A and B are shown apart, each in its own frame.
Chain A
Amino acid sequence: MMTRFLHSEFFHNYKHSSSAVIGSTLMLGFAFAVIVGPLLVAQNPYDIASLDLMDSYKPPLWLEGGDPRFPLGTDGQGRDVWASILYGARISVFIGLVAMIASCTIGTFLGLVAGFYGGIVDSVIMRIADIQLSFPSILIALFLMSAVGTGVDKVLIALTAVGWVVYARTVRGSTLSEIEKEYVQAAKVAGLPNHKIIRKHVLPNVLTPLIVIATIQVGTFVLIEASLSFLGVGVPITQPSLGLLIKNGFDVLFSGLWWTSVFPGIAIMILVFGINLFGDFLRDELNPRLK
């Protein structure tokens, strides 16, 4: 299995695409930092007992007054910015991944149903999608958050409500072209019930384009979540994501205490950049028309 993969065209193209290698390295590095990172830092930034106000607003290590315990400096509560980033990235990535999985599942299901059954079901689902697409996604999320309140679960709901549309539209389109193919007719002729035809024949044949969408969407979701948190309707202060770290630092940014918001910003940038690079590679690789 492994040797087959190593000799596949996919892996060969991967090795020879610098954007794919850089992108996936950034992603893997981030995944590593998110999973084991918090174990490597001494301080738990959420454990108030471990904080010392005497440590507040220490600059990064290489500046005058830097403290070797806090390589990227500290914020107003004496929180280590580096540790905050590692913990915050956990929340950001968790939200991005879970919201992507939820969007993908719901959107794919609705797209399959709309494409396969057509008629009124199709019209209703697709009009809802159209309406949703005509609003900026941040706005929809803002509306939802103001209606249902804030919290990680609310952020997930808001992101999913925004994210399903792209899957539904893509899947519906591919479904429409798949069900015209004779193997779907053949499955009907063989007497297979509709739910089996959808699950076993249509679904596997419409999945490929979703891989690209899902990859890129994780990055998009991290950004939207950061914007929401920056606007103050995202995650609660007790579970600061990268976006909330930026917001907290932004308040003192112009006092010259730039490191509290710039470093979390760089972290988001690296994550989204890596995801997009890898996503672009997947798009080229999985789209037969670009070959």
Chain B
Amino acid sequence: MENSEHIPLLEVRDLHTYFHTFSGTVKAVNGVSFEIGKGEVMGLVGESGGGKSVVGFSILGLIDSPGKIESGELLLEGQDLVTAGEDRLREIRGREISMVFQDPMTSLNPLHTVGRQMDEVLRLHSDLGAEARQTTCIEMLESVGISRAAERLKAYPHQFSGGMRQRVVIAIAMLARPKLIIADEPTTALDVTIQSQILKLMRAQIADKGASMILITHDLAVVSEMADHITVLYCGNVVERGQTRDLIENPSHPYTRGLIDSIPDTTQRLDRLSQIPGSVPDIRNLPQGCNFRERCPRAQAICAQKEPSLTPQHKSLMAACHFPLKPGEAA
């Protein structure tokens, strides 16, 4: 992986995905850019409604009407997915890019056996014969830590627990050996005790297969454990990005600071947990200037007039803020 810095696996350039509804245009993704190298894990972080999942579905070309990718480029190893036809996209889905969903209770079809659902993907994306496919499925199930895999292939989803199902979902996502896995809140619906198991498993799987991953989550604790670098979204814009360590230890955007401060700290005894005041503004009707200014403790006059652009900060960080935090500075 000596040239992973030079040719990114996926490069998102100035992506705009809008939803044209009767009550106005929702600019769910409004100029997002990032790149992810081979074998890297990128965390895509933000509050609900920040446009995280829309980025994921845009990459897969699964934005349904009234949504539309208005502009931007999605370069998968140099090939633009925005202009690729539906046939090409269908080849890419599952084979080159796959996805792990939030709720393992509904992301498997309740009426088909696990084996059948795995086989379906392999039949679509490989030339293997029936027996070879079954062997592959068994190996894959074993590799995600499911014992008696041959027997479990004949089981239905309801015979598995939530954590086991998410293992199955991960196994299905890995089956065709994709280059990129988009994991949309993969542990949110799971018990805390299962969460770390699943995260470790995903980490091991992508390292083993040399794949990259976009980890979509609102949980900074999860990304800080998993990701090489992090992109923080707010109202469809990238507000900050950088290496995980730099960003978690010394974020320069007040929004990122707020997210980190919202994580309960067990070492300190507080009467109230820290929170970001206010809530996400109506995305159909964004304020002028910086989207975050109404909730920002550092906002000044200029924030209401001029939208900040991404500028380099300390270390690896890039942030879109007129008054970024210096390392060690409180919000």
Q: Is A288 an interface residue (CB 8 A)?
A: no
Q: Is the CB of B106 within 8 A of A182?
A: yes
A182 CA / B186 CA spacing, docked (Å) = 12
Residue in B90, B110, B111, B169 whose beta carbon sits within 8 Å of that of A193 in the complex: B90
Q: Once the chains bind, are A182 and B107 in contact (CB under 8 Å)? A: yes
Contacts of B93 in A (CB 8 A): 188-191
- CB–CB B107/A201 < 8 A: no
**8 Å CB contact of B101 from A185, A191, A192, A204:** A185
Residue pair A190, B111 in contact (C-beta under 8 Å): no
Q: Does B283 touch A at the CB level, under 8 Å?
A: no
Per-residue CB proximity of A184-202 to B under 8 Å, as 1/0?
A: 0111111111000000110
Q: Using Cβ atoms and an 8 Å threshold, which residues of chain A touch B259?
A: none
Least Cβ distance of B139 to chain A in Å? 19
Q: Which chain A residue has the least Cβ–Cβ distance from B125?
A: A191
Count chain A residues whose beta carbon lies closer than 8 angstroms to a beta carbon of B.
18
A205 on the interface (CB 8 Å rule)? yes
- Contacting residues, chain B, for A191 (C-beta < 8 A): 90-95, 124-125
Whether B107 contacts A200 by the Cβ 8 Å rule is: no
Please give, as numbers and ranges, the residues of chain A lying within 8 Å of B91 by CB-CB distance. Answer: 191
Contact B108 A183 (CB under 8 A): yes
The complex places the Cα of A185 from the Cα of B108 at a distance, in Å, of 10
Residues from chain A with a CB closer than 8 A to the CB of B90 are 191, 193
Which residue from chain B places its CB closest to the CB of A179 in the assembled complex? Answer: B64
Q: Which residues of B contact A291 (CB under 8 A)?
A: none
**CA gap between A204 and B112 in the complex, in Å:** 9
Q: Which B residues are in CB contact (< 8 Å) with A192?
A: 94, 120, 124
Asked whether A127 is an interface residue with its Cβ less than 8 Å from the other chain, the reply is no
Q: Is B276 in the interface zone, CB < 8 Å from A?
A: no
Partner of A182, one of B65, B95, B101, B112: B101
- Which residues of the other chain, A, contact B121 by a CB distance below 8 angstroms? 190
A136 CB to closest chain B CB, in angstroms? Answer: 36
Q: Contact at B109–A119, with CB atoms within 8 Å?
A: no
Residues 166-192 of A contacting B (Cβ, < 8 Å): 181-183, 185-192
CA of A118 to CA of B111, assembled, Å: 24
Contacts of B169 in A (CB 8 A): 186
Q: Which B51-110 residues have a C-beta within 8 angstroms of A?
A: 60, 62, 65, 90-95, 98-99, 101-103, 106-110
Of A182, A187, A204, chain B has the most CB atoms within 10 Å of the CB of A182
Residue B26 interfacial (CB < 8 Å)? no
Whether the Cβ atoms of B107 and A186 lie closer than 8 Å is yes
* Most B Cβ at <10 Å: residue of A118, A191, A193, A201: A191
Q: Are B107 and A183 in contact (CB under 8 A)?
A: yes
Is B172 close to A, CB under 8 A? yes
Residues of B within 8 A of A205 (CB): 109-111
Complex Cα distance, B66 from A118, in Å, reads 11
A205 and B108 alpha carbons, distance in the complex (Å): 12
Separation of A186 and B101 alpha carbons in the complex (Å): 8
- Shortest Cβ gap from A119 to chain B (Å): 7
CB distance from B187 to the nearest CB of A (A): 15
Given A119-B65, A182-B101: A190 and B94 interface contact (C-beta under 8 Å): yes
- How far is it, in angstroms, between the C-alpha of A186 and the C-alpha of B112 when the chains are bound? 14
Question: In the complex, which residues 101-143 of chain A have their Cβ closer than 8 Å to any Cβ of chain B?
Answer: 118-119
- Please name all residues of chain A whose beta carbon is closer than 8 Å to the beta carbon of B110 when the two chains form the complex: 183, 205
Per-residue CB contact flags for chain A residues 215-231 toward chain B (1 = under 8 Å, else 0) read 00000000000000000
List 5 tightest A-B contacts by C-beta distance, closest first.
A191-B93, A182-B107, A191-B94, A190-B94, A189-B99
Can you list 12 residue pairs at the A/B interface with Cβ under 8 Å? A118-B65, A182-B102, A182-B106, A183-B108, A183-B110, A185-B99, A189-B98, A189-B99, A190-B124, A190-B172, A191-B95, A204-B111
Interface residues, chain A, with chain B CB atoms under 8 Å away: 118-119, 181-183, 185-193, 200-201, 204-205
Where the two chains meet, the residues of B that have a C-beta atom closer than 8 Å to any C-beta of A are 60, 62, 65, 90-95, 98-99, 101-103, 106-112, 120-121, 124-125, 169, 172
Given A188-B93, A190-B94, A191-B93, 9 new contacts (CB under 8 A): A183-B108, A186-B99, A186-B107, A190-B93, A190-B120, A190-B172, A191-B124, A193-B90, A205-B110
